[in-house]
Amino acid sequence: MSIWRVLRVIVILSPAFALVAFAGWYVFKQFDSQEGISSTDSGEKSRIVVVISFDQMRGDYPERWNSQLAEDGLRRVGSDGVWYANAHLPYACTSTGPGHASIATGVTPSVHGIIENDWYDRARGKKVYCATGERPYERVPSNNAAGSRTKDASGLSPERLLAPTIGDHLRSTNKKSRVFSLALKDRAAVLMGGKDPSGVYCFDTATGQFHTSTYYREQPHPWVLKFNNSNVADRWFGKNWDRLLDSQIYNRVAGPDDVLGESIDSKGLGRVFPHPLGNDQPGPGGKYYAQLEKSPFANELLWEFAKTCILEENLGQGESPDLLYLGFSANDLIGHAWGPDSHEVLDVTLRSDRLIAEILKYLETTLGKERFTLVITADHGVCPLPEVANQKHPEAARFHPGMELEPLSEALDETFGGAELGGGNWVEAIGSTVVYPWIYLNRRLIASRGVPLETVQDYATKWVGNRDHHRPGPTLKMIAGPPLADPLGRSIQLAYHPDRCGDVYALPREYCIPMPGTGTTHGTPHSYDTHVPVFAVGVGVPKLGKQDGKRNALIVAPIVCKGLGIDPPNGVAEKFP
Ligand SMILES: [Zn+2]
């Protein structure tokens, strides 16, 4: 086709092009001017991105209890923005430390190194915690009544985090951006805050106050001291935690309130509604604050604290975008005690939804509709109480990790030789005393006996996989090797960091929990633990609505970057939208 002929075709078709362009513009304009939160993908920087993590909110709750949700909470976020209803964490270690580190960095524990809440440090021969480091820091303000600062185990620091957070990445290029991380739990606050935050604060049930550590600053921000002195935490003393809606709705939706397997009298709150706070106590003290933390009121307290932070720091009003992480931890403590099918978890979820409505309204009124992005997710899901799961899954059971795994030492003695060779334990750290699910073999002993390490690892992996409540898992050679096709195996690989993990990964069978007694837990690669909600709305978030396809929950990080108007740091593989 000659150039003239092409030009002639363009001239003939140009009115049609113009008409199509105009129609497109008109439709877009109508769509854009509809009532709702601004959802744009223009790349314009929002003034603040607020990331909310509900500790232990399983991804199925918003769907399961949709008809009990408010119009203007999660449902509105999902319809004005996006709701990934089938988002899963891609790694096996579904615990709080790894969860918050992954939310903040957008990479897996295999990269950021937070492989559990606690793990065994082979070089130092001791158990370490994810939110404290080797260098000592002091807690501020001190929990010592005399006010003198003392070195204690609460000297929090993000030292063990090996990857930059989105906040660190933001502040490395936008010096004027502020990053705050506020949570009830210390590990949530520390790991979401990253290495260079403007402020990290968490709640102390001994004193009822928010505190930080000298890693971050010598003295708390003045507004933190003011907030602590105002005794907001005492507001719920002597009150009852009762159901938000009529009890008949709870009976219909969640069955009876009193169920076998629930904690008997958690923190003195009782087993069934109503749960009294501060009962039989002369005034607010440690016992009351622990009760408060295990009630939905603790989330309200954190939101009061967050509003003070937004106001006093003028967050969202500066020259560069700000980032605020909020860790609502009450949901987890409640879920552990009563289980995901309880009236209590239903209630804290409904109240969390109402809290989202309040937060959304607050951001709209104080900042304006086009000045924020709100992202909501969770650090992990949870397993049902085995007593409840039993009805559908007869294999559901509780086990004691020590009793189940510690006989491994004898089995290794029998197979590879024991006392007659000079004694010594083949296993260095195992079971409940250190960190389930990893088992750390005694590599020095193995080397001195001249047995190939891999032979012992393989034997131990097979032995663990044959225990009553475990199933065969990959050997360490497989875990450390090329990507596995099996999804469970792959998720264990993404939970593996060679300097921090052990020699054997104990993979529990589905619905089997390492928790004798009562209550429930999480931490496995099974879908009830990996399924988390992901909601987002505001600047940088197109109006996509509910998405049912399976998604990687680490999509949270690129959503946050979109809201901030920055490119994700290297290593963040997920793309949004
Ligand atoms: Zn958690």
Q: What is the pLDDT of residues 322-333, one digit of tens each?
A: 999 999 999 999
SS3 state of residue 55: coil
Ligand 1 centre to CA of 518 (Å) is 18
Ligand 1 centre to CA of 137 (Å) is 24
Render pLDDT for 121-170 as a digit per residue (tens, 0 to 9): 999 999 999 999 998 899 898 776 444 444 445 589 999 999 999 999 99
485 vs 235, 481, 488, CA distance in Å? Answer: 53, 12, 9
Which of 334-343, 419-428, 486-495, 508-517 has the weakest average pLDDT? 419-428
pLDDT score recorded for residue 16: 53
Within 125-282, where are the H helices? 166-173, 186-193, 222-229, 247-254
Q: What is the mean pLDDT of residues 386-405?
A: 96
User: Taking 80 as the threshold, does the pLDDT of residue 81 lie above it?
Assistant: yes
pLDDT score recorded for residue 261: 95
How high does pLDDT run on average in the chain? 91
User: Binning pLDDT at 50, 70 and 90, where does residue 381 land?
Assistant: very high
Ligand 1 centre to CA of 308 (Å) is 25
User: Binning pLDDT at 50, 70 and 90, where does residue 28 land?
Assistant: very low
User: Binning pLDDT at 50, 70 and 90, where does residue 405 land?
Assistant: very high
Cβ neighbourhood burial of 573 (10 Å; 0-12, 13-18, 19+): middle
Give the DSSP letter string of 537-560: EETT----EEE-S-EEGGGHHHHH
Distance CA 41, CA 37 (A): 13
pTM of the model: 0.91
Element (H or E) spanning 427, and its range? strand 427-429
3-state DSSP helix/strand/coil % of the chain, to nearest 5: 40, 15, 45
Cβ neighbourhood burial of 89 (10 Å; 0-12, 13-18, 19+): buried
Ligand 1 centre to CA of 184 (Å) is 11
Distance CA 423, CA 417 (A): 9
Distance CA 206, CA 189 (A): 18
Is 515 in contact with 398 (CB distance < 8 Å)? yes
Ligand 1 centre to CA of 396 (Å) is 22
Ligand 1 centre to CA of 25 (Å) is 45
Ligand 1 centre to CA of 393 (Å) is 25
506 vs 44, 101, 123, 430, 489, CA distance in Å? Answer: 47, 23, 22, 10, 12
Residue 279's CB is within 10 A of a number of other CB atoms, namely 15
pLDDT score recorded for residue 489: 98
pLDDT score recorded for residue 419: 66
pLDDT score recorded for residue 40: 45
Ligand 1 centre to CA of 188 (Å) is 8
Ligand 1 centre to CA of 62 (Å) is 18
For ligand 1, a single-atom ion, which residues have Cβ within 5 Å? 55, 96, 332, 379
Is 178 in contact with 184 (CB distance < 8 Å)? no
DSSP state letter for 263:
-
User: Taking 50 as the threshold, does the pLDDT of residue 265 lie above it?
Assistant: yes
Residue 233 tokens, joined: 């935490």
Which of 25-39, 62-76, 272-286, 299-313 has the weakest average pLDDT? 25-39
Candidates 171, 210, 189, 216; CA nearest to 325 is 189
User: Taking 50 as the threshold, does the pLDDT of residue 339 lie above it?
Assistant: yes
Ligand 1 centre to CA of 117 (Å) is 9
Ranges of beta strands (E only) in 487-529 are 504-505, 512-513
Ligand 1 centre to CA of 495 (Å) is 16
160 vs 126, 194, 507, CA distance in Å? Answer: 15, 10, 25
Task: Return the higher-pLDDT residue of 145 and 438.
Answer: 438
Distant-in-sequence, close-in-space partners of 200: CB < 8 Å, separation ≥ 6: 156, 180, 181, 182, 189, 190, 193, 212, 213, 216
Q: What is the mean pLDDT of residues 376-405?
A: 96
Q: What is the mean pLDDT of residues 222-232?
A: 97
Ligand 1 centre to CA of 403 (Å) is 25
Ranges of beta strands (E only) in 233-351 are 240-241, 275-276, 322-328
Distant-in-sequence, close-in-space partners of 433: CB < 8 Å, separation ≥ 6: 402
SS3 state of residue 246: coil
Ligand 1 centre to CA of 450 (Å) is 42
Distance CA 440, CA 421 (A): 21
Percent of the chain with pLDDT over 70: 90
SS3 state of residue 301: helix
Ligand 1 centre to CA of 156 (Å) is 18
Distance CA 564, CA 373 (A): 8
Candidates 298, 288, 277, 61; CA nearest to 182 is 298
Ligand 1 centre to CA of 542 (Å) is 29
Is 324 in contact with 243 (CB distance < 8 Å)? no
Residues shown for the chain: 577
pLDDT score recorded for residue 151: 43
Query: What are the phi and psi torsion angles at 242 (to 5°)?
Result: -120, 175
Ligand 1 centre to CA of 383 (Å) is 13
Ligand 1 centre to CA of 39 (Å) is 30
Element (H or E) spanning 174, and its range? none
Distance CA 553, CA 538 (A): 19
Ligand 1 centre to CA of 277 (Å) is 23
Ligand 1 centre to CA of 321 (Å) is 28
Ligand 1 centre to CA of 510 (Å) is 19
Distance CA 193, CA 196 (A): 7
Distance CA 284, CA 85 (A): 40
Buried b (16+ CB within 10 A) or exposed e, 202-235: bbbbebbbbbbbbbbeeebbeebeebbeeebbbe
Ligand 1 centre to CA of 254 (Å) is 23
Quote the longest CA-to-CA distance of the chain.
96
Ligand 1 centre to CA of 96 (Å) is 3
536 vs 49, 519, 576, CA distance in Å? Answer: 10, 31, 11
Distance CA 355, CA 124 (A): 44
Ligand 1 centre to CA of 290 (Å) is 17
Ligand 1 centre to CA of 330 (Å) is 10
pLDDT score recorded for residue 13: 52
User: Taking 70 as the threshold, does the pLDDT of residue 47 lie above it?
Assistant: yes
Ligand 1 centre to CA of 480 (Å) is 26
Candidates 380, 204, 199, 186; CA nearest to 306 is 199
Task: Return the higher-pLDDT residue of 39 and 248.
Answer: 248
DSSP state letter for 369:
T
Distance CA 299, CA 38 (A): 27
Candidates 202, 115, 121; CA nearest to 157 is 202
Q: What is the mean pLDDT of residues 519-528?
A: 97
Taking the CA atoms of residue 395, residue 398, residue 404 and residue 406 in that order, the dihedral angle to the nearest 10 degrees is 160
Q: What is the mean pLDDT of residues 510-539?
A: 97
Distance CA 368, CA 267 (A): 41
User: Taking 50 as the threshold, does the pLDDT of residue 32 lie above it?
Assistant: no
Is 481 in contact with 403 (CB distance < 8 Å)? no
